[in-house]
Chains A and B, each alone.
Chain A
Amino acid sequence: MRLSVTAMENGITKVSLSGRLDVQSALEIDDEFTKIAKENKNLLVDLSDVTFIASLGIRTLVVGAKATSNNGGKMVLLNPQPNVEQVLRTSHIDTVMPITHDAATVAEMFGR
Protein backbone atom coordinates (compact mmCIF):
# COMPACT_ATOMS: atom_id res chain seq x y z
CA MET A 1 0.00 0.00 0.00
CA ARG A 2 1.27 3.47 -0.89
CA LEU A 3 0.55 6.58 1.18
CA SER A 4 1.28 10.13 0.06
CA VAL A 5 0.56 13.46 1.71
CA THR A 6 -0.25 16.74 -0.07
CA ALA A 7 -0.91 20.11 1.56
CA MET A 8 -3.97 21.67 -0.10
CA GLU A 9 -5.40 25.17 0.13
CA ASN A 10 -7.35 26.31 3.17
CA GLY A 11 -5.43 24.24 5.69
CA ILE A 12 -6.67 20.91 4.33
CA THR A 13 -4.21 18.02 4.10
CA LYS A 14 -4.83 15.29 1.53
CA VAL A 15 -3.68 11.75 2.23
CA SER A 16 -3.83 9.56 -0.86
CA LEU A 17 -3.87 5.81 -0.29
CA SER A 18 -3.26 3.32 -3.06
CA GLY A 19 -3.57 -0.47 -3.14
CA ARG A 20 -5.25 -2.95 -0.80
CA LEU A 21 -6.06 -1.68 2.69
CA ASP A 22 -6.05 -5.23 4.06
CA VAL A 23 -4.80 -6.53 7.43
CA GLN A 24 -1.16 -6.41 6.38
CA SER A 25 -1.36 -2.86 4.99
CA ALA A 26 -3.46 -1.57 7.88
CA LEU A 27 -0.88 -2.83 10.37
CA GLU A 28 1.90 -1.32 8.23
CA ILE A 29 0.43 2.19 7.85
CA ASP A 30 -1.33 2.50 11.25
CA ASP A 31 1.44 4.45 13.01
CA GLU A 32 2.19 6.78 10.10
CA PHE A 33 -1.50 7.45 9.38
CA THR A 34 -2.25 8.20 13.05
CA LYS A 35 0.77 10.51 13.25
CA ILE A 36 -0.45 12.45 10.18
CA ALA A 37 -3.96 12.65 11.67
CA LYS A 38 -2.60 13.99 14.96
CA GLU A 39 -0.53 16.64 13.18
CA ASN A 40 -3.21 17.82 10.75
CA LYS A 41 -6.59 19.13 11.75
CA ASN A 42 -8.52 18.74 8.49
CA LEU A 43 -7.75 15.53 6.68
CA LEU A 44 -9.05 14.54 3.24
CA VAL A 45 -8.41 10.84 2.63
CA ASP A 46 -8.41 10.06 -1.08
CA LEU A 47 -9.51 6.43 -1.54
CA SER A 48 -9.72 6.52 -5.38
CA ASP A 49 -6.97 3.94 -5.77
CA VAL A 50 -7.88 1.69 -2.83
CA THR A 51 -9.11 -1.63 -4.22
CA PHE A 52 -9.95 -3.47 -0.99
CA ILE A 53 -10.84 -2.69 2.61
CA ALA A 54 -12.12 -4.74 5.55
CA SER A 55 -12.48 -4.19 9.29
CA LEU A 56 -8.80 -3.57 10.06
CA GLY A 57 -8.61 -0.90 7.37
CA ILE A 58 -11.75 0.71 8.76
CA ARG A 59 -10.14 0.64 12.20
CA THR A 60 -7.18 2.62 10.77
CA LEU A 61 -9.56 5.27 9.40
CA VAL A 62 -11.54 5.48 12.67
CA VAL A 63 -8.37 5.91 14.76
CA GLY A 64 -7.30 8.72 12.41
CA ALA A 65 -10.72 10.37 12.51
CA LYS A 66 -10.69 10.30 16.32
CA ALA A 67 -7.26 11.99 16.28
CA THR A 68 -8.45 14.81 13.98
CA SER A 69 -11.61 15.20 16.06
CA ASN A 70 -9.55 15.51 19.25
CA ASN A 71 -7.79 18.46 17.55
CA GLY A 72 -11.14 20.07 16.74
CA GLY A 73 -10.80 18.94 13.12
CA LYS A 74 -12.45 16.51 10.77
CA MET A 75 -11.74 13.66 8.36
CA VAL A 76 -13.51 13.31 5.00
CA LEU A 77 -13.28 10.28 2.69
CA LEU A 78 -13.01 11.02 -1.04
CA ASN A 79 -13.96 8.84 -4.02
CA PRO A 80 -14.09 5.26 -2.71
CA GLN A 81 -14.54 2.61 -5.41
CA PRO A 82 -18.00 0.91 -5.35
CA ASN A 83 -16.92 -2.30 -3.53
CA VAL A 84 -14.90 -0.32 -0.99
CA GLU A 85 -17.77 2.13 -0.49
CA GLN A 86 -20.13 -0.78 0.17
CA VAL A 87 -17.86 -1.99 3.00
CA LEU A 88 -17.68 1.54 4.42
CA ARG A 89 -21.43 2.15 4.31
CA THR A 90 -22.25 -1.37 5.58
CA SER A 91 -20.11 -0.57 8.63
CA HIS A 92 -21.94 2.77 9.00
CA ILE A 93 -18.62 4.62 8.94
CA ASP A 94 -20.41 7.40 7.04
CA THR A 95 -22.18 8.29 10.31
CA VAL A 96 -18.87 9.42 11.82
CA MET A 97 -16.96 10.71 8.77
CA PRO A 98 -18.50 11.99 5.51
CA ILE A 99 -17.95 10.23 2.19
CA THR A 100 -17.96 12.36 -0.95
CA HIS A 101 -17.37 11.91 -4.67
CA ASP A 102 -17.39 15.63 -5.34
CA ALA A 103 -13.92 17.13 -4.85
CA ALA A 104 -15.37 20.59 -5.58
CA THR A 105 -17.39 20.58 -2.35
CA VAL A 106 -14.59 19.36 -0.10
CA ALA A 107 -13.60 22.81 1.22
CA GLU A 108 -17.23 23.45 2.09
CA MET A 109 -17.41 20.15 4.00
CA PHE A 110 -14.52 21.33 6.14
CA GLY A 111 -16.33 24.63 6.68
CA ARG A 112 -13.77 26.53 4.57
Chain B
Amino acid sequence: MPQSSQRQKQGHWERAFKANVSDIASAASWIESIATSAGFADKQAFSMQVCLEELMSNIVRHGKEPSGSHSSWPSGSGSDHLTIAIAIDANADRITMIVEDNARPFDLGKAIAKKIDQPLDQLEPGGLGIHLIKSFSSAMEYQRTEQGNRVTVEFNG
Protein backbone atom coordinates (compact mmCIF):
# COMPACT_ATOMS: atom_id res chain seq x y z
CA MET B 1 0.00 0.00 0.00
CA PRO B 2 1.21 3.58 -0.59
CA GLN B 3 2.66 5.48 2.34
CA SER B 4 0.39 8.23 3.65
CA SER B 5 3.30 10.66 3.43
CA GLN B 6 3.59 10.13 -0.32
CA ARG B 7 2.29 12.99 -2.46
CA GLN B 8 -0.97 12.04 -4.11
CA LYS B 9 -1.05 12.22 -7.91
CA GLN B 10 -3.66 14.31 -9.66
CA GLY B 11 -5.86 12.60 -12.17
CA HIS B 12 -9.25 11.73 -13.60
CA TRP B 13 -10.63 8.23 -13.96
CA GLU B 14 -14.04 7.03 -15.13
CA ARG B 15 -15.73 3.73 -15.80
CA ALA B 16 -19.24 2.32 -16.12
CA PHE B 17 -20.54 -0.76 -14.31
CA LYS B 18 -23.75 -2.76 -14.31
CA ALA B 19 -26.00 -2.73 -11.25
CA ASN B 20 -25.22 -6.24 -10.05
CA VAL B 21 -23.35 -7.77 -7.14
CA SER B 22 -20.32 -8.96 -9.11
CA ASP B 23 -19.83 -5.47 -10.57
CA ILE B 24 -19.74 -4.03 -7.03
CA ALA B 25 -16.71 -6.26 -6.44
CA SER B 26 -15.21 -5.20 -9.79
CA ALA B 27 -15.66 -1.53 -8.89
CA ALA B 28 -13.92 -2.09 -5.55
CA SER B 29 -10.94 -3.69 -7.34
CA TRP B 30 -10.89 -0.78 -9.79
CA ILE B 31 -10.80 1.77 -6.92
CA GLU B 32 -8.03 -0.23 -5.24
CA SER B 33 -5.88 -0.21 -8.36
CA ILE B 34 -6.39 3.56 -8.85
CA ALA B 35 -5.55 4.17 -5.18
CA THR B 36 -2.33 2.18 -5.50
CA SER B 37 -1.19 3.80 -8.75
CA ALA B 38 -2.15 7.34 -7.67
CA GLY B 39 -0.74 7.04 -4.15
CA PHE B 40 -3.98 7.66 -2.24
CA ALA B 41 -3.61 7.27 1.52
CA ASP B 42 -4.83 3.91 2.83
CA LYS B 43 -7.54 5.66 4.85
CA GLN B 44 -8.87 7.52 1.78
CA ALA B 45 -8.86 4.39 -0.37
CA PHE B 46 -10.74 2.46 2.31
CA SER B 47 -13.31 5.26 2.79
CA MET B 48 -13.88 5.43 -0.98
CA GLN B 49 -14.53 1.68 -1.08
CA VAL B 50 -16.98 1.87 1.83
CA CYS B 51 -18.94 4.71 0.19
CA LEU B 52 -18.88 3.10 -3.25
CA GLU B 53 -20.07 -0.26 -1.91
CA GLU B 54 -22.95 1.43 -0.08
CA LEU B 55 -23.94 3.57 -3.07
CA MET B 56 -23.78 0.68 -5.56
CA SER B 57 -25.53 -1.84 -3.32
CA ASN B 58 -28.30 0.70 -2.75
CA ILE B 59 -28.81 0.94 -6.53
CA VAL B 60 -28.67 -2.85 -6.99
CA ARG B 61 -31.16 -3.41 -4.19
CA HIS B 62 -33.58 -0.52 -4.66
CA GLY B 63 -32.94 0.96 -8.10
CA LYS B 64 -35.61 -1.03 -9.89
CA GLU B 65 -38.44 -1.14 -7.39
CA PRO B 66 -41.39 1.28 -7.33
CA SER B 67 -40.92 4.19 -4.93
CA GLY B 68 -41.77 3.42 -1.31
CA SER B 69 -41.70 -0.36 -1.54
CA HIS B 70 -39.25 -2.61 0.27
CA SER B 71 -37.15 -5.22 -1.43
CA SER B 72 -34.75 -7.90 -0.35
CA TRP B 73 -31.63 -8.64 -2.35
CA PRO B 74 -32.48 -9.69 -5.91
CA SER B 75 -32.37 -13.46 -6.22
CA GLY B 76 -30.29 -13.09 -9.39
CA SER B 77 -27.17 -10.98 -9.54
CA GLY B 78 -28.98 -7.64 -9.91
CA SER B 79 -30.36 -5.40 -12.61
CA ASP B 80 -28.20 -5.49 -15.72
CA HIS B 81 -30.22 -2.81 -17.52
CA LEU B 82 -29.23 -0.29 -14.83
CA THR B 83 -25.90 1.39 -15.41
CA ILE B 84 -23.68 2.96 -12.77
CA ALA B 85 -21.10 5.44 -14.08
CA ILE B 86 -18.30 6.36 -11.71
CA ALA B 87 -15.94 9.31 -12.15
CA ILE B 88 -13.04 10.05 -9.82
CA ASP B 89 -11.09 13.29 -9.70
CA ALA B 90 -8.05 13.68 -7.50
CA ASN B 91 -6.07 16.81 -6.74
CA ALA B 92 -3.47 17.54 -4.11
CA ASP B 93 -5.84 17.83 -1.15
CA ARG B 94 -9.12 16.22 -2.19
CA ILE B 95 -10.66 13.29 -4.03
CA THR B 96 -14.12 13.63 -5.57
CA MET B 97 -16.16 10.58 -6.57
CA ILE B 98 -19.30 11.01 -8.70
CA VAL B 99 -21.71 8.08 -8.99
CA GLU B 100 -24.45 8.41 -11.60
CA ASP B 101 -27.20 5.93 -12.38
CA ASN B 102 -30.31 5.52 -14.52
CA ALA B 103 -32.33 4.10 -11.63
CA ARG B 104 -35.55 5.38 -10.08
CA PRO B 105 -35.23 8.67 -8.16
CA PHE B 106 -33.82 8.31 -4.67
CA ASP B 107 -32.69 11.41 -2.78
CA LEU B 108 -29.85 10.13 -0.67
CA GLY B 109 -29.51 13.51 1.04
CA LYS B 110 -32.98 13.11 2.55
CA ALA B 111 -32.61 9.43 3.49
CA ILE B 112 -32.49 8.53 7.18
CA ALA B 113 -28.97 7.80 8.41
CA LYS B 114 -29.68 4.86 10.68
CA LYS B 115 -27.17 3.55 13.18
CA ILE B 116 -27.32 0.88 15.86
CA ASP B 117 -29.18 2.49 18.76
CA GLN B 118 -31.36 -0.28 20.16
CA PRO B 119 -30.74 -3.41 22.22
CA LEU B 120 -29.99 -6.53 20.20
CA ASP B 121 -33.42 -8.10 20.73
CA GLN B 122 -35.18 -5.03 19.28
CA LEU B 123 -32.69 -4.38 16.51
CA GLU B 124 -33.70 -4.77 12.87
CA PRO B 125 -30.52 -5.81 11.00
CA GLY B 126 -29.44 -3.66 8.06
CA GLY B 127 -29.95 -0.12 6.82
CA LEU B 128 -26.63 1.33 8.01
CA GLY B 129 -25.39 2.35 4.56
CA ILE B 130 -26.39 6.04 4.58
CA HIS B 131 -24.82 6.53 8.01
CA LEU B 132 -21.57 4.97 6.77
CA ILE B 133 -21.50 7.14 3.61
CA LYS B 134 -21.97 10.29 5.68
CA SER B 135 -19.37 9.18 8.23
CA PHE B 136 -16.69 8.08 5.75
CA SER B 137 -16.91 11.07 3.38
CA SER B 138 -16.20 14.73 4.10
CA ALA B 139 -19.14 15.93 1.97
CA MET B 140 -22.03 14.41 0.05
CA GLU B 141 -24.39 16.00 -2.47
CA TYR B 142 -27.38 14.56 -4.29
CA GLN B 143 -28.76 15.72 -7.65
CA ARG B 144 -31.68 14.37 -9.64
CA THR B 145 -30.73 14.00 -13.31
CA GLU B 146 -32.81 13.41 -16.45
CA GLN B 147 -31.72 9.76 -16.48
CA GLY B 148 -31.66 9.04 -12.77
CA ASN B 149 -29.50 10.13 -9.85
CA ARG B 150 -26.10 11.69 -9.28
CA VAL B 151 -24.31 11.50 -5.92
CA THR B 152 -21.07 13.38 -5.37
CA VAL B 153 -18.93 12.41 -2.41
CA GLU B 154 -15.70 14.09 -1.36
CA PHE B 155 -12.76 12.81 0.63
CA ASN B 156 -10.31 15.25 2.17
CA GLY B 157 -6.65 14.41 2.24
- A-to-B contact residues, CB < 8 Å: 20, 22-24, 27, 52, 54-56, 58-59, 62-63, 65-66, 69, 83, 87, 90-93, 95-97
Quick one: given A83-B46, A92-B116, A96-B120, are A22 and B128 in contact (CB under 8 Å)?
no
- Interface assignment of B91: CB less than 8 Å from any CB of chain A: no
- The answer to whether A65 and B117 have CB atoms under 8 Å apart is no
Q: Say yes or no: is B96 at the interface (Cβ < 8 Å to chain A).
A: no
* Interface core residue of A63, A65, A91, A97 (most chain B CB under 10 Å): A91
* A84, B129: Cα distance in complex, Å: 15
Looking at chain B, what size class is its interface with the partner chain?
20 to 34
Q: Is the CB of B50 within 8 A of A54?
A: yes
Partner of A55, one of B21, B54, B60: B54
- Given contacts A59-B125, A66-B125, whether A54 and B53 have CB atoms under 8 Å apart is yes
B interface residues with partner A (beta carbon < 8 Å): 21-22, 24-25, 28, 42-43, 46, 49-50, 53-54, 57, 60, 73, 115-117, 119-121, 123, 125-129, 131-132, 135-136
* Complex Cα gap A66–B123 (Å): 8
The answer on a CB contact under 8 Å between B128 and A66 is no
Most B CB within 10 A of own CB, among A52, A55, A63, A96: A55
- B25 contacts A22, C-beta separation under 8 Å: yes
Known: A66-B121, A96-B123. A23 touches B115 (CB 8 A): no
SS class of chain B's interface: helix, strand, loop or mixed?
A: helix
Question: Taking chain A's interface residues, is the majority helix, strand, or loop, or is none over half, making it mixed?
Answer: helix
What is the distance, in angstroms, from B40's C-beta to the closest C-beta of chain A? 13
* Count of CB-CB pairs between chains A and B under 8 Å: 82
The answer for the CA separation of A66 and B22 in the assembled complex, in Å, is 28
Please, which residues of chain A bring their CB within 8 A of the CB of B46? Answer: 52, 83
Q: Nearest 8 A-B pairs (CB), nearest first? A: A55-B128, A92-B116, A62-B125, A55-B129, A96-B120, A83-B46, A54-B53, A59-B126
| Chain A residues closer than 8 Å to B28, beta-carbon distance | 20, 22, 52
Contact indicator A24/B25 (Cβ below 8 Å): yes
Task: Name the distance in Å between A72's Cβ and chain B's nearest Cβ.
Answer: 12
The answer for the CA separation of A65 and B57 in the assembled complex, in Å, is 23
Q: Which residues of A contact B49 (CB under 8 A)?
A: 52, 54
- Write out the residue numbers on chain A whose beta carbons fall within 8 Å of the beta carbon of B116: 62, 91-93, 95-96
Distance A87 CA – B50 CA, assembled complex (angstroms): 9
Which residue of chain B is the closest to A81 with respect to CB atoms? B46
The docked-state distance in angstroms from the alpha carbon of A48 to that of B130 is 26
Is there contact, CB below 8 Å, between A90 and B132? yes
